[in-house]
Amino acid sequence: MEIETLRGMIEEGHRELSVTQQCQLLGLSHSSYYYKPQPETAENLRLMRVIDETYLRYPYFGSRLMANWLSREGYLVGRKRTQRLMRLMGLEAIYAKPNLSKPQPGHRIFPYLLRNLAVVRPNQVWASDITYIPVEGGYAYLYAILDWYSRYVLAWELSNTLDAGFCVIAVERALATYGLPEISNTDQGCQFTAADFTGVWDAQGVKISMDGKGRWRDNVFVERLWRTVKYNEVYLRSYVSVLDAQGHLGRFFEFYNERRPHSSLDDATPGEVYRGAVRLADNQ
Protein backbone atom coordinates (compact mmCIF):
# COMPACT_ATOMS: atom_id res chain seq x y z
CA MET A 1 0.00 0.00 0.00
CA GLU A 2 1.31 3.50 -0.87
CA ILE A 3 2.70 5.73 1.91
CA GLU A 4 0.11 8.47 1.31
CA THR A 5 -2.70 5.93 1.65
CA LEU A 6 -1.22 4.61 4.90
CA ARG A 7 -0.81 8.13 6.28
CA GLY A 8 -4.47 8.77 5.57
CA MET A 9 -5.40 5.83 7.79
CA ILE A 10 -3.73 7.34 10.87
CA GLU A 11 -6.17 8.95 13.30
CA GLU A 12 -4.65 11.59 15.54
CA GLY A 13 -6.22 11.76 18.98
CA HIS A 14 -7.34 8.13 18.85
CA ARG A 15 -8.74 7.13 22.28
CA GLU A 16 -6.79 3.86 22.50
CA LEU A 17 -3.84 3.98 20.10
CA SER A 18 -1.14 6.63 19.87
CA VAL A 19 0.14 7.79 16.48
CA THR A 20 3.32 5.76 17.06
CA GLN A 21 1.31 2.59 17.79
CA GLN A 22 -0.85 3.10 14.69
CA CYS A 23 2.29 3.56 12.57
CA GLN A 24 3.71 0.31 13.95
CA LEU A 25 0.49 -1.59 13.19
CA LEU A 26 0.52 -0.27 9.60
CA GLY A 27 4.24 -0.88 9.08
CA LEU A 28 4.81 2.86 8.57
CA SER A 29 7.79 4.61 10.12
CA HIS A 30 7.01 7.42 12.55
CA SER A 31 9.12 9.86 10.53
CA SER A 32 7.26 8.97 7.30
CA TYR A 33 3.97 9.98 8.90
CA TYR A 34 5.19 13.43 9.88
CA TYR A 35 7.18 14.06 6.70
CA LYS A 36 5.68 16.80 4.56
CA PRO A 37 6.94 16.86 0.95
CA GLN A 38 8.56 20.13 -0.06
CA PRO A 39 6.56 22.01 -2.70
CA GLU A 40 8.15 22.57 -6.08
CA THR A 41 9.54 26.02 -6.83
CA ALA A 42 7.64 28.34 -9.14
CA GLU A 43 10.40 27.84 -11.73
CA ASN A 44 10.02 24.06 -11.61
CA LEU A 45 6.25 24.34 -11.92
CA ARG A 46 6.70 26.49 -15.04
CA LEU A 47 9.10 23.90 -16.44
CA MET A 48 6.64 21.10 -15.69
CA ARG A 49 3.95 22.94 -17.64
CA VAL A 50 6.32 23.31 -20.61
CA ILE A 51 7.41 19.67 -20.34
CA ASP A 52 3.77 18.57 -20.28
CA GLU A 53 2.91 20.56 -23.41
CA THR A 54 6.07 19.40 -25.19
CA TYR A 55 5.52 15.75 -24.28
CA LEU A 56 1.98 15.87 -25.61
CA ARG A 57 3.37 16.96 -29.01
CA TYR A 58 6.46 14.72 -28.92
CA PRO A 59 5.71 11.74 -26.69
CA TYR A 60 8.88 9.96 -27.83
CA PHE A 61 11.03 12.54 -25.99
CA GLY A 62 13.01 10.94 -23.17
CA SER A 63 14.74 13.01 -20.50
CA ARG A 64 17.91 13.53 -22.59
CA LEU A 65 16.05 14.77 -25.67
CA MET A 66 13.62 16.79 -23.53
CA ALA A 67 16.52 18.52 -21.74
CA ASN A 68 18.18 19.36 -25.07
CA TRP A 69 14.89 20.67 -26.43
CA LEU A 70 14.29 22.86 -23.37
CA SER A 71 17.82 24.25 -23.56
CA ARG A 72 17.33 25.20 -27.22
CA GLU A 73 14.07 26.89 -26.22
CA GLY A 74 15.96 29.06 -23.73
CA TYR A 75 15.36 27.19 -20.46
CA LEU A 76 18.41 26.66 -18.25
CA VAL A 77 17.88 23.06 -17.24
CA GLY A 78 20.04 19.95 -17.23
CA ARG A 79 19.17 16.34 -17.84
CA LYS A 80 19.06 15.30 -14.16
CA ARG A 81 16.56 18.00 -13.31
CA THR A 82 14.48 17.20 -16.39
CA GLN A 83 14.59 13.51 -15.52
CA ARG A 84 13.38 14.16 -11.97
CA LEU A 85 10.51 16.37 -13.12
CA MET A 86 9.42 13.90 -15.79
CA ARG A 87 9.48 11.11 -13.21
CA LEU A 88 7.42 13.27 -10.85
CA MET A 89 4.89 13.81 -13.65
CA GLY A 90 4.80 10.13 -14.54
CA LEU A 91 6.16 10.73 -18.06
CA GLU A 92 8.26 8.26 -20.02
CA ALA A 93 9.30 8.19 -23.66
CA ILE A 94 6.90 5.94 -25.57
CA TYR A 95 9.11 3.80 -27.73
CA ALA A 96 9.32 0.04 -27.79
CA LYS A 97 12.18 -1.25 -25.62
CA PRO A 98 12.97 -4.36 -23.63
CA ASN A 99 11.45 -4.44 -20.16
CA LEU A 100 14.47 -5.00 -17.93
CA SER A 101 12.90 -3.74 -14.70
CA LYS A 102 11.34 -6.01 -12.12
CA PRO A 103 7.90 -5.17 -10.75
CA GLN A 104 7.71 -3.93 -7.18
CA PRO A 105 7.12 -6.57 -4.49
CA GLY A 106 3.46 -7.56 -4.48
CA HIS A 107 2.88 -5.98 -7.91
CA ARG A 108 1.75 -8.17 -10.81
CA ILE A 109 2.18 -7.60 -14.55
CA PHE A 110 -0.60 -8.95 -16.77
CA PRO A 111 -0.45 -9.75 -20.52
CA TYR A 112 -1.93 -7.44 -23.16
CA LEU A 113 -5.30 -8.90 -24.22
CA LEU A 114 -6.48 -6.45 -26.89
CA ARG A 115 -4.18 -7.36 -29.76
CA ASN A 116 -6.37 -8.38 -32.74
CA LEU A 117 -9.46 -8.20 -30.52
CA ALA A 118 -12.59 -6.81 -32.23
CA VAL A 119 -14.20 -4.41 -29.77
CA VAL A 120 -17.82 -4.32 -30.91
CA ARG A 121 -19.94 -3.27 -27.93
CA PRO A 122 -19.99 -1.05 -24.83
CA ASN A 123 -18.56 -2.51 -21.61
CA GLN A 124 -16.47 -5.01 -23.53
CA VAL A 125 -13.25 -3.13 -22.72
CA TRP A 126 -12.58 -0.30 -20.29
CA ALA A 127 -9.27 1.56 -20.57
CA SER A 128 -7.76 3.92 -18.03
CA ASP A 129 -4.70 6.06 -17.38
CA ILE A 130 -3.28 8.97 -15.36
CA THR A 131 -2.11 12.36 -16.62
CA TYR A 132 -0.55 15.47 -15.09
CA ILE A 133 -2.69 18.58 -14.52
CA PRO A 134 -1.04 21.96 -13.70
CA VAL A 135 -2.66 23.94 -10.89
CA GLU A 136 -1.62 27.38 -9.62
CA GLY A 137 1.18 26.87 -7.12
CA GLY A 138 1.33 23.12 -7.71
CA TYR A 139 -0.14 20.27 -9.69
CA ALA A 140 -2.54 17.34 -9.56
CA TYR A 141 -3.00 14.00 -11.27
CA LEU A 142 -6.09 13.09 -13.26
CA TYR A 143 -7.24 9.49 -13.58
CA ALA A 144 -10.01 8.57 -16.01
CA ILE A 145 -11.76 5.37 -17.14
CA LEU A 146 -12.92 5.24 -20.75
CA ASP A 147 -15.24 2.78 -22.48
CA TRP A 148 -13.12 1.66 -25.45
CA TYR A 149 -16.00 1.16 -27.89
CA SER A 150 -17.88 4.42 -27.32
CA ARG A 151 -15.05 6.66 -25.90
CA TYR A 152 -17.46 7.44 -23.04
CA VAL A 153 -15.72 8.67 -19.87
CA LEU A 154 -17.21 6.46 -17.16
CA ALA A 155 -15.48 7.96 -14.12
CA TRP A 156 -12.59 10.22 -13.23
CA GLU A 157 -10.79 11.44 -10.11
CA LEU A 158 -8.22 14.07 -9.18
CA SER A 159 -5.45 13.66 -6.60
CA ASN A 160 -2.33 15.51 -5.49
CA THR A 161 -0.46 12.21 -4.99
CA LEU A 162 0.34 9.37 -7.37
CA ASP A 163 -0.85 6.45 -5.24
CA ALA A 164 -3.41 3.83 -6.24
CA GLY A 165 -6.07 5.02 -3.81
CA PHE A 166 -7.73 7.67 -5.97
CA CYS A 167 -7.77 5.28 -8.94
CA VAL A 168 -9.57 2.67 -6.84
CA ILE A 169 -12.20 5.26 -5.84
CA ALA A 170 -12.95 5.99 -9.51
CA VAL A 171 -13.03 2.30 -10.42
CA GLU A 172 -15.49 1.50 -7.65
CA ARG A 173 -17.70 4.41 -8.73
CA ALA A 174 -17.68 3.22 -12.37
CA LEU A 175 -18.51 -0.36 -11.37
CA ALA A 176 -21.37 0.77 -9.14
CA THR A 177 -22.81 2.99 -11.89
CA TYR A 178 -22.23 1.02 -15.10
CA GLY A 179 -21.75 -2.61 -14.11
CA LEU A 180 -18.85 -4.85 -15.12
CA PRO A 181 -16.64 -4.74 -18.22
CA GLU A 182 -15.16 -7.90 -19.64
CA ILE A 183 -11.62 -6.48 -19.75
CA SER A 184 -9.83 -3.62 -17.97
CA ASN A 185 -6.77 -2.25 -19.79
CA THR A 186 -4.05 0.00 -18.35
CA ASP A 187 -0.33 0.54 -18.73
CA GLN A 188 2.22 -1.03 -16.36
CA GLY A 189 2.43 1.94 -14.00
CA CYS A 190 2.95 1.07 -10.33
CA GLN A 191 -0.51 2.39 -9.47
CA PHE A 192 -2.07 -0.18 -11.81
CA THR A 193 0.08 -3.14 -10.79
CA ALA A 194 -0.55 -2.54 -7.07
CA ALA A 195 -2.65 -5.17 -5.29
CA ASP A 196 -5.17 -2.53 -4.18
CA PHE A 197 -5.96 -1.74 -7.82
CA THR A 198 -5.79 -5.17 -9.44
CA GLY A 199 -7.69 -6.66 -6.53
CA VAL A 200 -10.81 -4.64 -7.37
CA TRP A 201 -10.95 -6.20 -10.85
CA ASP A 202 -9.99 -9.67 -9.61
CA ALA A 203 -12.78 -9.64 -7.04
CA GLN A 204 -15.33 -8.98 -9.82
CA GLY A 205 -13.92 -11.54 -12.26
CA VAL A 206 -12.84 -8.86 -14.75
CA LYS A 207 -9.91 -9.80 -17.00
CA ILE A 208 -6.90 -7.51 -16.57
CA SER A 209 -4.89 -6.38 -19.60
CA MET A 210 -1.73 -4.25 -19.55
CA ASP A 211 0.06 -2.44 -22.37
CA GLY A 212 3.50 -3.54 -23.43
CA LYS A 213 6.18 -1.42 -21.75
CA GLY A 214 6.42 1.90 -23.60
CA ARG A 215 3.72 0.88 -26.10
CA TRP A 216 1.43 3.94 -26.13
CA ARG A 217 -0.60 2.60 -29.07
CA ASP A 218 -1.82 -0.24 -26.87
CA ASN A 219 -3.98 2.31 -25.05
CA VAL A 220 -4.37 4.77 -27.90
CA PHE A 221 -7.91 5.97 -27.16
CA VAL A 222 -6.95 7.18 -23.69
CA GLU A 223 -3.95 9.00 -25.18
CA ARG A 224 -6.33 10.71 -27.60
CA LEU A 225 -8.60 11.62 -24.70
CA TRP A 226 -5.69 13.32 -22.93
CA ARG A 227 -4.90 15.37 -26.03
CA THR A 228 -8.54 16.51 -26.18
CA VAL A 229 -8.68 17.33 -22.46
CA LYS A 230 -5.40 19.25 -22.53
CA TYR A 231 -5.97 21.29 -25.71
CA ASN A 232 -9.69 21.93 -25.28
CA GLU A 233 -9.78 22.52 -21.53
CA VAL A 234 -6.60 22.48 -19.43
CA TYR A 235 -4.34 24.68 -21.56
CA LEU A 236 -7.11 27.23 -22.05
CA ARG A 237 -7.31 27.91 -18.31
CA SER A 238 -5.19 28.48 -15.23
CA TYR A 239 -6.72 26.50 -12.37
CA VAL A 240 -6.31 28.31 -9.07
CA SER A 241 -6.81 25.14 -6.98
CA VAL A 242 -7.58 21.45 -7.24
CA LEU A 243 -11.20 22.29 -6.39
CA ASP A 244 -11.29 24.78 -9.27
CA ALA A 245 -9.82 22.16 -11.62
CA GLN A 246 -12.40 19.65 -10.45
CA GLY A 247 -15.29 21.98 -11.26
CA HIS A 248 -14.05 22.85 -14.74
CA LEU A 249 -13.10 19.27 -15.60
CA GLY A 250 -16.51 18.04 -14.44
CA ARG A 251 -18.23 20.43 -16.84
CA PHE A 252 -15.82 19.50 -19.62
CA PHE A 253 -16.37 15.75 -19.27
CA GLU A 254 -20.14 16.28 -19.28
CA PHE A 255 -19.75 18.26 -22.51
CA TYR A 256 -17.37 15.65 -23.95
CA ASN A 257 -19.72 12.75 -23.15
CA GLU A 258 -23.08 14.25 -24.06
CA ARG A 259 -22.69 17.19 -26.43
CA ARG A 260 -19.40 17.01 -28.37
CA PRO A 261 -19.76 15.00 -31.63
CA HIS A 262 -16.94 12.60 -32.51
CA SER A 263 -15.91 12.19 -36.14
CA SER A 264 -14.69 8.67 -35.30
CA LEU A 265 -18.18 7.87 -33.96
CA ASP A 266 -20.03 8.91 -37.13
CA ASP A 267 -20.49 12.36 -35.54
CA ALA A 268 -22.43 10.91 -32.62
CA THR A 269 -21.54 11.68 -29.01
CA PRO A 270 -19.91 9.08 -26.74
CA GLY A 271 -23.07 9.04 -24.61
CA GLU A 272 -25.27 8.22 -27.59
CA VAL A 273 -23.02 5.35 -28.62
CA TYR A 274 -22.56 4.01 -25.10
CA ARG A 275 -26.30 3.93 -24.41
CA GLY A 276 -26.99 2.29 -27.79
CA ALA A 277 -28.87 5.19 -29.38
CA VAL A 278 -26.32 5.06 -32.22
CA ARG A 279 -24.84 1.84 -33.57
CA LEU A 280 -21.42 2.07 -35.17
CA ALA A 281 -20.40 0.27 -38.31
CA ASP A 282 -18.53 -2.98 -37.64
CA ASN A 283 -15.27 -1.54 -38.95
CA GLN A 284 -15.16 1.28 -36.39
Q: Which domain holds residue 75?
A: 42-89
Q: Note whether residue 246 is domain-resident.
A: yes
Q: Please give the pLDDT value at position 19.
A: 63
In the sheet with 153-159, reading across from the earlier edge strand, the strands are 153-159, 138-147, 125-135, 183-186, 207-210
Q: What is the pLDDT of residues 90-134, one digit of tens each?
A: 887 754 443 434 455 567 889 999 988 999 999 999 999 999 898
Low-confidence winner among 87-96, 115-124, 164-173, 219-228 (lowest mean pLDDT): 87-96
On whether both 30 and 138 belong to a single domain, the answer is no
Residues 6+ apart with CB under 8 A from 127: 145, 146, 148, 184, 185, 186, 219, 221, 222
Mean pLDDT of all residues in the chain? 83
Provide the pLDDT confidence category of residue 177 given band limits of 50, 70 and 90: very high
On whether both 182 and 212 belong to a single domain, the answer is yes
Q: Note whether residue 97 is domain-resident.
A: no
Q: 3-state class of 23 per DSSP?
A: helix
Q: Please give the pLDDT value at position 105.
A: 58
Q: Please give the pLDDT value at position 58.
A: 83
pTM reported for the whole predicted model? 0.73
DSSP character string of 103-148: PPTT--------TT----STTSEEEEEEEEEEETTEEEEEEEEEET
The residue ranking higher by pLDDT, 146 or 28, is 146
DSSP character string of 192-261: HHSHHHHHHHHHHT-EEEEPPTT-GGGGHHHHHHHHHHHHHTGGG---SSHHHHHHHHHHHHHHHHHT--
The domain that contains 134 carries what CATH number?
3.30.420.10
Q: Tell me: pLDDT of 283 over 60.
A: no
Q: Tell me: pLDDT of 221 over 70.
A: yes
Q: 3-state class of 7 per DSSP?
A: helix
Q: Note whether residue 112 is domain-resident.
A: no
What is the b/e burial string over 104-136, where b = at least 16 CB atoms within 10 angstroms of the residue's CB? eeebeebeeebeeeebeebbebbbbbbbbbbbe
Q: Note whether residue 110 is domain-resident.
A: no
How many distinct structural domains can be found in the chain? 3
Q: Cβ of 3: how many Cβ atoms within 10 Å?
A: 15
Q: Note whether residue 53 is domain-resident.
A: yes
> What average pLDDT does the segment 190-204 reach?
92
Q: Note whether residue 171 is domain-resident.
A: yes
The residue ranking higher by pLDDT, 97 or 149, is 149
On whether both 178 and 216 belong to a single domain, the answer is yes
On whether both 7 and 84 belong to a single domain, the answer is no
Provide the pLDDT confidence category of residue 163 given band limits of 50, 70 and 90: confident
